Structure 1
Amino acid sequence: MSLNKSLDGDERPRKGLYLDFYGFSEMPFTITPDPGFLFLSRTHQSVIEKLLYGINNRSGFLLLTGEVGTGKTTVCRTILDRLGDKAETVYIINPSLSGVEILAAILDDLGVEFSLGASKKDLMDRLNEFFLGSDRSKPVVVIIDDAQTMPIEALEDLRLLSNLETDKEKLLQMVLVGQPELLATISKPELRQLHQRIAISCTLDYLKEEEIPGYIERRLFVAGNKGQVRFTRASVDRIFKASSGTPRLINRICDYSLIAAYLGNDHTIHERYVIQALSEIGSPDTDATKVLAGKPYYHAVLAFLVMTLVILAFFLGSWVSQNKEEPAVAPVAKIGSVSQHPPEVAVTKSAAVKASDEVARATAILPAPELKNPVSGSAVKEMGTKTESILGSFTVLIASHRLADKVLHEASRYRASGVDSHWVKVDLGEDGIWYRHFAGRFNSRAEARQLIMDSGLATARILEAPWAISVGEGTSPEEIGSIADMLKSNGYDCYVQKIKKGVYRLLVGAFVTKEGAEKAALEITLPGVVPEIVLR
């Protein structure tokens, strides 16, 4: 029986029946941001601790970014709960306002009266009077959610609030929360003064594969589970592959899986129920194909289209080979199905082949990232000429972008889909600033080409980029984790490379020439970090 029929028709399991059947006190997998259901994964714990540290130390402006569905709003609600009556708090969830409207909203939430139609100066004066007359033992915290939708003018107005301070501390603690493009927005030249005032910047990541069982068990426990309901190991694995660790997607899949098991009169959530749930949730990219495939006439049409694509791919491959170019001719594949690789391990040919085997088995919800900005020739060049190839010097150049927000968004999607990709800012002189999005470190073009083919990176090309910037070494990835966090908080992307047993180093970028790496290294001016140009 179709779940949609059960959900939409007379047989829809009512909330009471659903809860009674499983013995729950409340629904375990709603998508509302309830702090009571918070699962403290490593990334959630780290973000909450950093933000509370910044608030309690009166640091001023704080920044939290994260992809859609990672739990940013839940973190906001959790921080508000933890602060309780120890702080004066303002929570703005509709940031698409002008600067004057946001100032008015802050004053309104703080209980400060102001005249209707007051000017920006009047509102600022009223806020300043509030601070002068209030008990400064409590921090005043303003959290603005979905801040990526704020107009630039409103963000600039917020900067003026940082001037409310004493000789020792900031009077107003401002937490900006939004999607990755928020970081790109405040990195624009016209907002450089605001960017410089960001005391702490942190990123909320996706859940790791090993955290998924704990996440599901936590939500079941809060809802009243005492062991009567359980998800099998296979079902949990399937949920991770389909969601890529996105909490919101996990909730949706689990909810549909519970309904499928309910209809099957089963308290054990087997993989077959998850598969049924995924088939009902569906993917916008495949719905039309499913409809056509159900009609005999269209089988021939689909077969013809597939054969046409194969023939085109063959001729394109021949042309590429004759012209000695390196763009990949790849089979059509969903990037969301590729296996994840540890950051410190290069993606080898054998690992890529293993990933391709998993492509056929995985069920992907996230659509493959669309490369709207394929690699251009100008984005590849750097100063100097290349010499003979160096071992481990090849990388897969996925794309190059003019805008930082493009590469941030794209890299986030690729990582969530299982490709260990990274980005770096490169100065190409007359061609300007570009943001290079790359993946892997390979000893030969053949190994790099294998990743391109297995991952479906049809517009990618192979780049010989042997140079990188080393920013730290340690005996384990965890030992250099604090340096990585500091770099990421200041707008740098980095990755861990294993040199030998017990020795790891933290790298930034992949550069064609040593001169290009040296130019980029000059911009890394962080306390305790001494950049060094190395061969990857």
Structure 2
Amino acid sequence: MYLEHYGLREAPFRITPHTDFFFAGGNRGATLEALIYAISNDEGIVKVTGEVGSGKTMLCRMLLEKLPATVETVYLANPSYSRDEILHALAAELQLELPEGRPSLLLKALQERLLQSYAAGRRVVVLIDEAHAMPGETLEEIRLLSNLESSRHKLLQIVLFGQPELDERLAQPDLRQLKERITHNFGLEPLRRTDIGPYLMFRLRAAGYHGPDIFSPRALQGIDTASEGLTRRINILADKAMLAAFAANTHLVDQPQVQAAVTDAQFTPLPAASNKAVTALRPILLVLPLGLALTFGAYWAGRQSVAATPSEAAVSAPQFPAATPSPATASATATPAATSPAQDSPATPAPESVPQEAQAAPPSAATAKLPADLPQNAGRLTREALAAHQSWLAQADDRHYVLQLLAVKGSATREVESFLTQAARSLPPGTLRAYYRSAAEGPRWGVTYGDFPDRSSAVAALAALPEAIRNTRPYPRQVQRLR
């Protein structure tokens, strides 16, 4: 409806993946290049995980287009395949005449077909979308397919795309052998707040728009808050907001239009770890095995978006008890696992042995610069928690996580003070922080807890919280989302 209003030749924010609209910012382009390199230079299984709507299918479609001509690609996107059906689907995609009889005959025919491709200097890559929803027996069949090999090389390269639940599935004992076949793990993160404006304008330009920016800073902030950085949600909100601007006969998309879009979309917050396997979504944009990263170094020179870590180390992050999370200052001085061998890293100190300077009290509310629009009825604990938040945020690592304990409207100031009073009775001093900031729907209060080096540590802390606090449905949140 608004195409002519904005001078567009096509809809800019369709949720169906369209490779002409692939946004290389937000580390998407870097991830694509690293995936191509991993597929072209290694023989293990590759795994890509990300939340619903984070852009996994778009990345998969880009791979289909960008892999070298010497690579034959097979795309399987039906998660309901049984063990036999996935073999038949693969055979059909490879235009293999299906033999009659037992599945073992089909597997033999597949191996012969793959040997022919190998002899001709061609690699066969299978991209499996929605892998987290596949039956266990089908995932086991994928492992068996990865065993097909010549005298020297694997005949089939497999890439699994899935939601964070895929890691939970792979942690089950019956899929341990499949997990051990995975040599490269990629985590697709939501877009940062600073990426959302460029992302929206890129899509508008790709759709034929030639004018100035149409999304105001307040609109971008509202879209960021409501979408949580997920590209599908961003597209939905942008489309609805532009429609609202068209209906109001204005070209500028501002806070009222975004608020209308948010109300209409009715998104629910990303679920807490107890409901989803969020441990798979790592607090880094890309996880590469150390060997691949070293080989990839010259090719990847100058790019800081790829962090190299051993695949095994990525799933053995240090755990922090919920009652004694690592203070921000202590976390900031920890040696990153990606840059130092595990045996050289000192063990995480017990809470009682944390250096005294790491436990220093935050600046008092009297000396801290509090928000100018802070409600006058903010209580003492609230003001102290605000001061603690400002001091902590100034040095916090954007890749770290906190637990979001409370998120309420700006008018609920007394509720924040009451919550802090109750929470302080069961949580260690200095671990609670509060913020007050503007949002598309109006001012918001938030209370956070702890400072954790990765999401899995935050998840473990959440599980150990007192029951009364767990009942408020806290959830892990990355530090960068608080800025």
Q: TM-score, normalised by structure 2?
A: 0.59
Where does residue 23 of structure 2 map in the other structure? 39
Conservation of the 8 A alpha-carbon contact between 1:107 and 1:113: yes
Q: Secondary structure in 2 aligned to 1:141? A: strand
What are the equivalent positions in structure 2 for 1:83-122 lying under 5 Å apart?
A: 83=67, 85-115=69-99, 118-122=101-105
Q: Match for residue 420 of structure 1?
A: 402
Check 1:189–1:136 CA distance in 2 against 1; reply closer, same or farther (3 A cut): farther
1:67–1:387 distance in 2 versus 1, CA, 3 Å: closer
Equivalent of residue 129 in structure 1, options 105, 112, 118: 112
- SS at the partner of 2:48? strand
Query: Are the equivalent residues in 1 in contact too, given 2:47–2:185 (CA < 8 A)?
Result: yes
Which of 122, 126, 143 in structure 2 is aligned with 1:142?
Answer: 126
**Identity level (%):** 35
Q: Pick the aligned partner of 2:56 from 67, 72, 81.
A: 72
Q: Secondary structure at the match of 1:231?
A: coil
Question: What is the CA-CA distance between 1:250 and the residue it aligns to?
Answer: 0.5
In structure 1, list runs of 5 or more residues that go unmatched.
1-12, 286-325, 328-342, 349-383, 395-414, 423-443, 469-483, 496-508, 511-536
Deviates more, 1:244-253 or 1:222-231: 222-231
- Are positions 1:20 and 2:4 aligned together? yes
Instruction: For 1:98 and 1:49, locate their aligned partners in 2 and report how far apart those are by CA, in whole Å.
Output: 32
In 2: Cα distance, 1:280 partner to 1:390 partner: 50
Measured against aligned partners, the alpha-carbon deviations of 1:167-204 in whole angstroms (never above 9, x if no partner) come to 44321010011001101211222222211111211110
Alignment CA distance shift 1:175-1:30 (3 Å): same
2:189 aligned residue: 205
2:238 equivalent to 1:282:
no
List aligned pairs for 1:451-466, cutoff 5 A: 455=446
Q: CA deviation at 1:233?
A: 1.8
- String of CA shifts for 1:246-281, please: whole Å, max 9, x gaps: 111110110001101111122222222212222322
| Distance verdict in 2 for CA 1:345–1:215, change over 3 Å | farther
**Aligned CA distance change for structure 1 residues 244 and 385 (closer, same or farther; 3 Å):** closer
1:73-126 deviation per Cα after TM superposition (whole angstroms, max 9, x unaligned): 00000000112643211111102211111011001001001135x432111101
Secondary structure, counterpart of 2:96 in structure 1: coil
Q: Distance in 2 between matches of 1:421 and 1:345?
A: 17
Against the structure 1 CA distance between its residues 216 and 344, is the aligned structure 2 distance closer, same or farther, given a 3 Å change threshold? farther
**Between Structure 1 and Structure 2, whose CA radius of gyration is higher?**
1
Question: How does 1:468-479 map onto structure 2 within 5 Å?
Answer: none
Q: Is the 8 A contact 2:49 2:187 kept in 1?
A: yes
Whole-angstrom CA distance in 1 between matches of 2:52 and 2:73: 24
**Alpha-carbon shift at residue 229 of structure 1 (Å):** 5.7
CA distance in structure 1 between the partners assigned to 2:62 and 2:153 by the alignment: 24
How many pairs align? 322
Distance in 1 between residues matched to 2:214 and 2:141, nearest whole Å:
51
Q: Which structure 2 residues correspond to residues 289-300 of structure 1 after superposition, within 5 A?
A: none
Aligned match for 2:248, one of 247, 257, 264: 264
In structure 1, C-alpha distance between the alignment counterparts of 2:196 and 2:76, rounded to whole Å = 31
Between the aligned partners of 1:230 and 1:249, the Cα distance in structure 2 is 18
State the AA in 1 paired with 2:144: L
* Superposed displacement of residue 419, structure 1: 5.1
Could you report, residue by residue, the CA deviation over 1:447-487 in whole angstroms, capped at 9, with x for unpaired residues?
21345996457xx8x8xx9xx9xxxxxxxxxxxxxxx9xxx
After superposition, the Cα gap between the structure-2 partners of 1:241 and 1:452, relative to the gap in structure 1 and judged at 3 Å, is: closer
Between the aligned partners of 2:59 and 2:247, the Cα distance in structure 1 is: 34
- Write the letter of the residue equivalent to 1:50: A
Moved more, 70-79 or 188-197: 188-197
Taking only aligned residues, the RMSD between alpha carbons, in angstroms, comes to: 3.9
Change in Cα spacing, 1:271 to 1:159, as seen in structure 2 (3 Å) is same
Give SS of 2:11's match.
coil
Give the conservation status (yes or no) of the 8 Å contact 2:115–2:150: no
- Distance in 1, matches of 2:27 and 2:124, equals 25
- 1: CA distance, partners of 2:148 / 2:205: 45
Number of the residue aligned with 2:229: 245
Task: Indicate the residue corresponding to 2:219 in structure 1.
Answer: 235
Q: Which amino acid aligns with 1:74?
A: M
Counterpart secondary structure, 2:113 = helix
Large movers: runs of 4+ above 6 Å = 343-348, 415-418
Specify the code of the residue in structure 2 equivalent to 1:265: N
Q: 1:449 aligns with which of 424, 432, 442?
A: 432
Aligned pair partner of 2:40 in 47, 56, 81? 56
Confirm or deny: 8 A CA contact 1:35 1:78 kept in the other structure: yes
Q: Is it true that 1:223 corresponds to 2:199 in the alignment? A: no
- In structure 2, relative to structure 1, the CA distance for the partners of 1:240 and 1:417 (3 Å cut) is farther
Partner of 1:335: none
Correspondence for 1:289: none
Partners of 1:205 and 1:64 lie apart in 2 by: 11
Q: 1:84 to 1:232 in 2, by over 3 A?
A: same
Aligned partners of 1:72 and 1:283: how far apart in 2? 20
